[in-house]
Structure formats: structure tokens, C-alpha cells
Chains A and B, each alone.
Chain A
Amino acid sequence: MRSGVILHVEDNPSNRKLVRDLLATRGYRLVEAETGEEALVLAERERPRLVLMDLELPTLSGLAVTERLRAHPELGGVPIVAVTALAFRADVERAKAVGCDAVLTKPYDPMDLLRLVEHYIGPPPTEG
């Protein structure tokens, strides 16, 4: 049984705030991780419905975290959207290969991000 929470993994504070503010406008619940290790702990605890994954993380990369999540018996099916500044075609293909459902290239149009979120978890829960 999954919660309605979205897990955002991102090491850049500005971009974390951007996503936080963006999703807050629609009322989505969000947990944030700064590192890959933290992301794994939070995923285990929060059981998110969607993961927004920055691929370039300091120690444990987004690709590695994605691989581990995909190998997890209960979290294996969670949708993962890679959000990356790596624009080479090979990077996109590598992300898809480890199991990302979609790849969003930075800089992205905030509306595109909202559309992707809606596509994977549906419209936000109405307040109240």
C-alpha cells in the first residue's frame, strides 16, 4: 500500500525549492533527499508513489539508486522520472536502461514536469 508521497532526490537547493514550490501549487505531498543514500532510506520508509531522480548525485549516483530500487522486492514497480542536466543521447539511453520510466532534461519547462507527475500519479488529492 503506497502513500501519496512523491520522493524528490536532488542535491541542488535551488532546484529542490523550485520543485517544492511548483508541486505545492497543486497540493502534492513531497519528501526530499539530498543524497542517494538518503533517498534509499526515505524510499524504504515513505513508500512513495513517484520518484523524481536527479542522476548526478555526489557519492551514490542516481543511476545506482534507480538500479537498487528496481531490485527491491516491494519498491521495484515505483515510477521513476530521471531529471538530468546530462543532455547527451547516450545519457538518456543509459537512464532508460537502468529502469527510469521517463527522462526530463534540465532546464525543463515547469509545466512539463507537472504534466509528467499527473501522468504517473493522477491529479493531486483535493484539499480537505
Chain B
Amino acid sequence: MTRPRVKWRVGLPLKFILSISALIAVTSIGLGVFFMQHDVALVTVELVERGRSLVRNLAFNGEYGVLIGNRELLGTLVRGLIQQEDVLYVVIQDATGAVLASGKAEQLQAIPPAGTPARPWTGRTWADLATRSTQIDWEGDTVYEVTHPIRTREVRQEREALGFPSFPGSGARGIQRERTIGLARMGMSLSVRRVSETLAGVRQAITLVLVLAGLVGIMVTVLLVRVIVRPINELVTGTARLREGELDHRVSVSSRDEIGDLARSFNRMAHALRQREAELQAHGKEMVRLNALLTEQQEALRRINAELAAASRHKSEFLANMSHELRTPLNAVIGFTELLAAQTYGPMPPRVEEPLQEIRQNARRLMGLISDVLDLAKIEAGHMELSYAEYLVPQVAESVAVTVRPLAERKGLRLVVEVEPGLPEGYGDAQRITQALLNLAGNAVKFTEAGEIRIRACRQDAAFLFQVADTGIGVPAEVLGQIFEPFRQADASVTREHGGVGLGLSIAKRFVEMHGGRIWVESAPGRGSLFAFSVPIRAEQTR
């Protein structure tokens, strides 16, 4: 059996034995003290009673000696008493207090004189008012002094004196008168032999009680061990076995007391633990099953992800291929048109010049379209990356103005560029910001027939604000919300009239948003438009 390791372990049996022994010892000592006192008191009463009897006899027997003053006779009486082992001293004195005879035991040094301070005797005595008993502390011992007056009887023949005839059988006749003529004193003390005999008896009784109590104690301990310690040990073993995992272990204590309650509670606990473990095992199995399911789903997700990544890769490859496939023939178209226009193949007939211009313009428009579609596709696929660098806003505005001015002038529009002086250096992709502003300005030129195009750049808090205002046809309210979506223009007739598919605004929006900025438009049909965007002065690289 395994027990918890405890230093200075004191088992229950030892505790029982110790406490029962202590109980027995205290009881025995108490009983002993009680009985000793009780027995000694009894012996003392007996002693005093004997003393009273002796002193009464002495007083009676000494009457004659005192009357006649015969000291020799009195000495004989005294000597006879002194021989008694519990008589310490004997004194006979006359009425004046003069000592007529005295004697003392050998161990006594002196007889206590009359009038020595004394306590009244408190023990039980038979009623005898003449005999007095007192206690005297004398020579380190308690002396019980008993005294009795010595009296004599004077009988006067009163009847005779008065002349009455005496009746036959009437006993004492005449008036008796008692007169005290002396005092008999005696000192008594408990003899050592008497006391030790008494105490020996008490000791015997106590020894007997101790032996009996010891036997009872051992029996009680054995009983307690059977009733308490064994079941507890079994419970200790039980808990140890539960700890080792033997959840089916039960204790077999069935007593109808607290220990039994504990054992039953223990068994119920073990049962509950067993059930709990079973539930946990079931849960564990469920967890394993769910884990497997999760792993399976993760695997499926990973497969789908891989497929998506492959699809995305395919899309990129498709875009690259399309770019190549479209650009290569377009290169020949544009190149040869240019060579024709440059009269490389000889002079051109004048009537061919106009169609040749149409070819050139449309080839370039097609080129722009391809570039826009590819740009948008790249942005949406997440392939477009900004190249961040320091840039200057005046350069951006100037670059846009240089590109747009010839187009505007061709349509008779005025182009105004206003850049706030003293703007700080910006950080971002200048090429993309320029393109965004260019797209807005290009649109403005495209949709304005008369008036002016105003390009403004200024600072607004921690951002640059770019604005393009025109005096064009404006945008209807119902399309304002989706004007930055791809392929949106006010209406189909506009598309027909002005050409282009409206990718410029979508691309501008993407570029601005990639810089962490925003783009918006304020417009009403017939009242011109104000397109604007803001980008942080120092754009944060997102990757």
C-alpha cells in the first residue's frame, strides 16, 4: 500500500492509545487523590472519636485522684494512656490550671501549653457538649487535642433534710450538684502506621483501577482501529488506485456511520470519474474524426487554391500572349503606315493621304485601347506594381499639359494650368499619377467643344489635390455613381460620337487608389464637370 510520505507521521492507533492512556492516567490520579483524602479524613474522625472516648474515661477515672490530690494515682492513669501509639500527650490539671500529672510520647519534644492557638475541629462528632476537640499545629504536625472537664458530684439528702420518707427502689435520692474540679487534656495524632496502611489500601485500589482501565483502553483502541483505521486505510489504497487509473476500483466499506458515508461517496466519485472518462474518450474520438475532416477540407482548399493560382497564372500568360499577338501585327500596321506617309515608297497620290491619316489615327487608337485593356487587366489581377520614387508636382502637371495642349488647341479650347507654388516633394509613382491626370485631362478635351480646360494642383493637408475642370457637356446624375467603372460612358451616342470606351477613368481610379488616395467627380449636364483626385504627399508602399 502506498501512503503519502509525511515526516514525523503519527498513526491513528498511536494517537488513540496515547489519548486513552492520558485519560486513564488523569482519571486514576484524580480518583487516588480523592480516595486518599477521603480515607485520611475517615481515619482522622476515627482518631478524634477515640480521643474523645479516652479523655472522657480519663476525666471520670481521674475524679477521685483530683479530689484527694493523689498525684501518684493520676500518674498511673497518664502512663497507661501514653503507651497508646496515637496518644501524644496527656495532662491532668486542677481547677486552677495547675498540672497535677502529665506525660508525653517520646517523639514529642514538648507538650503544647494551654492556650496555644487552635482551630475548631470540623469533623463529625457525636453529640457530647462537654468534650471539646480542637486542632493545633505543633512541631510541624497536626495535633488533635481533646479535653474533658473533671467533675465531681455532691449529693445532698434533700428529702431527708426536709423530713420526707424515702420511697423504696427510687435509686439516687436527693439533689445532685456537679462541680468542676479539674481538666483532662489529651493530644492525638495519626500514627505513621495507620496512615501508611490506609494509603496502601488506596494504592492497591488505584493499581486495580489502572489495570482494568488499561485493559479497557486496549480493547477500545482495537475496536477503533477496526472501525476507523482499517476503512481509512482501504480508502487511502482506493484513492491511490484511482490515481493509477484503476477507475473500476471500489472500496468495500459498508458501515452505517460517517466512515461508511465517506466510502459510499468515494465509490460514487469513482463511478462519476469512470463515466467522465468514457465521455472524454468519446469526445476524443469525435475530435479525431473532426480533425480528419478538417485536414481533408484543408487539403481540398489547398487544391482549390492551387487551381486558382494556376488559373491566375494562365490568365497572366494569356494576357502576355495576347499582348504579343496583338502588338506584333499592329507594329507592322503602324510601321508601314508611317513609312508610306513618309513617302518611303515614293510619292503618294493626294487622294490617298486622307485615308492614310485615318489608318494612322485608328491604328494608334487601337494601340491605346490594347494598352488600356492590358493595364486594367494587370491591375485587377494584382500584377500592377507601383514604382515609388520622389517626384515634383509641377513636372507632373507640365508633362500632362505638353501632351494635352496640342489636342486642346486643335479644338479651339483654352488650356489653363495652375500649380500652387512651393509644394513639397512627393513620394509615389510619378508615371502612374501623371497617367491618371492625363486620363482626366484627355477626357475633358474629348467631351468639351468650347471654352476651357483648367488643370489645378495644390496641397490639401497631407495630400496633393489634382483637379481638372471643363466647360463640356457634363455628366447626368444617374451615371455619376458608376462613371469610374470600366466601359461606362454617359450614353451610346456619346461613345459613337467621341470614340473611346472609357477605360481612362477606371484606370485613373485604380492608380489613385493604389496610392491610397481617392477620386471623385462633380458635374451636371450642360454645366461642365470637375474631376478631382487626391493622393497622399508621401504614399505608403503597400508591399
Contacts and interface: CB of A to CB of B under 8 A. Distances in A.
A1 to B, nearest CB: 32
A110 B339 contact: yes
Interface in A1-28: 12, 14-15, 18, 21-22, 25
Given A14-B329, A88-B383, A107-B331, A22 B339 contact: yes
B249 interface: no
Contact of A85 (B323, B344, B363, B387): B323
B344 A109 contact: no
A85 B331 contact: yes
A12 B332 contact: yes
B47 to A, nearest CB: 135
Interface residues of A, number: 21
B426 to A, nearest CB: 20
B371 A87 contact: yes
B485 interface: no
A85 B328 contact: yes
Interface of A: 12, 14-15, 18, 21-22, 25, 56, 85-89, 91, 105-111
B374 to A, nearest CB: 7
B312 to A, nearest CB: 15
Contact of A88 (B320, B326, B339, B342): B320
B328 A18 contact: no
Given A107-B327, A110-B339, A88 B332 contact: no
B66 to A, nearest CB: 158
B367 interface: yes
A14 B378 CA distance: 29
A51 B383 CA distance: 31
A18 B371 CA distance: 22
12 contacts: A14-B336, A22-B335, A25-B342, A25-B344, A85-B326, A87-B327, A87-B374, A88-B320, A88-B383, A107-B333, A107-B334, A110-B342
Contacts of A110: 335, 338-339, 342
A110 to B, nearest CB: 5
Given A18-B332, A21-B344, A86 B387 contact: no
A56 B387 contact: no
B374 A108 contact: no
A115 to B, nearest CB: 13
Contacts of B378: 88
Contacts of A25: 339, 342, 344
